[in-house]
Amino acid sequence: MSSVARPFRVLLLGVAFALALAPPAAADDIDVVADGLDNPRGLAFGPGGDLYVSESGRGGSECFPNDPNDPDAGNTCFGTSGAVTRVDLDDGGQERIADGLPSLATPEGAEALGPTDVSFRSKWSPRGFLTIGLGGDPALRDDLPAAGAGMAWLYRLHPGGALDPVADLGAFEAAEDPDAEQSGDEDNTNPNSVAAASRGRAVVADAGGNDVLVVTRDGEISVLGVLPFLEAPAPDIPDFPVPPGTPIPTQPVPTSVALGKDGAVYAGQLVGFPFPAGAANVWRLKPGSDPEIYLSGFTLVVDLAFGKDGSLYVLQIASDSFLAGPTPGALIRVRPDGEREELAAGQLTAPTGVALRGGNAYVSNHGTDPGTGEVVRIRLPQHEDDDDHKDRADDHDD
């Protein structure tokens, strides 16, 4: 099992810094609507107006060393603690409707890799999608217990929690490796975000593969775009192989996708090591065209959501490089005229997902924590509305 550990640990690097932050202070514009969650990630509204939350779980009891040659490198643990929780905002009830899903985490259950995102085409759609991540070479699934074969997949999610497999995204990465010209001979996959599109399709951001994919209702996968590698100054850290300030390549790490009213797909990026502050972009992708930068100047973007008026909400897991130590997360509203405004400033800790409805933003908070993860509601200025622009006439195609 030790052969799988090191790649997983590399992908987990950084989020632990966010765990050191104190809980955000209570405020009039933010309140908790769900709690007790295990590493909550992407969330979306589904049939009946219920809120669905993907939980990456807390790993399990099958542990192996991250580096067999370094006893101080720690362990990664596998289990079937991943889940999807449904929250009834009318009565405050919450229920895990799908559980027993694969999960990798630290021995303490933090920084998990498992169910990463959920999406429904509209509030009337009877079926949605669920992604389960991995964070490494797809071949690493062979070294996990049997349930690990379900990682790096796209699933159909039914409102009651039943899952139907749609596409093996890990196998696609192994066969096609769309970013090979940039990354070299290195297969890596971590499906981290999904957006339900028209005609039963799904758009997926593969943070490990550095690409955005389109999956048909029949499971056929195509590449919408590959995000380009960037450069950043080498950090000043002990034993780093090049002098501080030397330009080094950084992986784009697309973490999130959202559908625009213009028919384009918008992708937010984390940006890999050394996680430079202000280097994350929101990209615009259209079939037949190279990805182009739509907005820039963000840090560690983990999710996106469009408001009814065209405002784009950009969620950052932290406000500075992971190497800078713990900083709060940030929800930034970008108005159609380009003006930016941070909401609930200083009150988010490792946020990981955002959804909009009824003049509120709903955010997965403490998203890298087991047991203390939560969903908070943030009241939006001027009652900016939700993602009703997705409720189109072609919803019946689902």
- The answer to whether 141 and 150 have CB atoms below 8 angstroms apart is no
Q: What is the pLDDT of residues 315-362, one digit of tens each?
A: 999 999 999 999 999 999 999 999 999 999 999 999 999 999 999 999
Sheet holding 115-120, edge to edge: 115-120, 128-132, 153-157, 163-168
Phi-psi region of 66 (alpha: psi -120 to 50; beta: other; left: phi over 0): alpha
**Tally of CA atoms within 13 A in the half-sphere of 395 that contains its CB:** 17
Domains assigned to the chain? 2-19+28-178+185-230+249-392 (2.120.10.30)
DSSP state string for 196-222: E-GGG-EEEEETTTTEEEEE-TT--EE
SS3 14: coil
Residues across the chain:
398
CA–CA dist 260, 167 (Å, integer): 24
- Considering the entire predicted model, what is its pTM? 0.92
Please give the DSSP secondary-structure letter assigned to residue 227: P
| The 353-357 sheet, strands edge to edge | 30-37, 373-379, 360-365, 353-357
Report residue 12: phi and psi, to 5°.
-80, -15
List the pLDDT tens digit at each of the 398 positions of the chain. Answer: 333 333 343 344 334 434 444 454 445 589 999 999 999 999 999 998 999 999 999 999 999 998 888 888 899 999 999 999 999 999 989 999 999 999 999 999 999 999 999 999 987 778 899 999 999 999 999 999 999 999 999 999 999 999 999 999 999 999 999 999 998 878 999 999 999 999 999 999 999 999 999 999 999 999 999 999 999 999 999 999 999 999 999 999 999 999 999 999 999 999 999 999 999 999 999 999 999 999 999 999 999 999 999 999 999 999 999 999 999 999 999 999 999 999 999 999 999 999 999 999 999 999 999 999 999 999 998 755 544 434 433 443 44
Q: How far apart are CA 338 and CA 335, in angstroms?
A: 5
What CA–CA distance (Å, rounded) separates 369 from 19?
Answer: 7
Tell me how crowded residue 91 is: count the other CB atoms within 10 A of its CB.
Answer: 7
State the CB neighbour count (10 A cutoff) for residue 338: 7
| Residue tagged 């009652």 (tokens) | 383
For residues 244-272, one letter each, b for 16 or more C-beta atoms within 10 angstroms of the residue's C-beta and e for the rest, the string is eeeebebbbbbbbbbbbeeebbbbbbbbb
Which tens digit of pLDDT belongs to each residue from 157-180? Answer: 999 999 999 999 999 999 999 999
The answer to whether the beta carbons of residues 59 and 76 sit under 8 Å apart is yes
